[in-house]
Copies of this chain bind each other. A is one copy, B any other.
Amino acid sequence: MYGQTFAAWRRDAAGPWHAYTHHPFVARLGDGTLPRASYLRYLEQDYLFLIHFSRAWALAVTTADTVDEMRFAARTLDALLNEEIALHVATCAAEGLDEAALFAAEELPQTIAYTRYVLDAGHSGDFLDLLAALAPCVLGYGEIGLRLAENIAENPYADWIGAYAAPEYQRVCHEIGALLDGAAARRLGAAADASPRKGRLAARFAAAARLEVGFWDMALAG
């Protein structure tokens, strides 16, 4: 749905992708039965996640090949660091957690695994390797938001769902899908399917989807 490159990676990672997007944490967000403690654990670790995810988009600025790629990554960094994190801080503040407390929270292994894996994809590979590791979070949330939004009457997590189902977020997903397609065309050519990098890129995407599963597991266990 968000471009051809995403569609191909998603298809190759069908198992992990389903496990991620249909995880019990997601299902219980969707039907409103998620325990508050799990949600708070998620929010706390997601704050730390967003810090390092912002760093990964900054890394993308340094590995872009064109000014347009640079600008896109810089805009995403800005949206994360100034809007998404601010939203997070506000939500957490309403629950009694201030930003200094969030920043000082102990980062759990699942958060470390996911965020540092993404950063290393950028350090060890090129812009496209980094995007393959960044894509599951952004686009998976778009998919989850849309699906859960079909039925959210009386759900205490309606705001969360609404944010990712919103046209603004969906537009970002489509733009990122187009960024992936452009970045892939620029590096793999028209016959991306014939590229020897195909397997490694799909493997990165699948690995990031599996790390999302671990992240949900951690929140549910909390």
Stretch of A5-13, A119-127, A134-142 on the interface side: A119-127
Task: Let me know if B129 and A126 touch, CB within 8 A.
Answer: yes
Q: Which residues of A contact B (CB under 8 A)?
A: 51, 54-55, 58-59, 61-63, 65-67, 70-71, 73-74, 77-78, 81-82, 85, 99, 103, 107, 109-110, 112-113, 116-117, 119-120, 123-126, 129, 185-189, 194-197, 200, 207, 210-211, 214
Main secondary structure of the interface of A (DSSP, over half): helix
Task: Let me know if B81 and A74 touch, CB within 8 A.
Answer: yes
Give the contacting residue for A109; candidates B77, B103, B109, B196; CB below 8 A. Answer: B109
- Contacts A126-B125, A196-B185 given; does A120 touch B109 at CB 8 Å: no
- Contacts A113-B110, A125-B126, A196-B185 given; does A58 touch B74 at CB 8 Å: yes
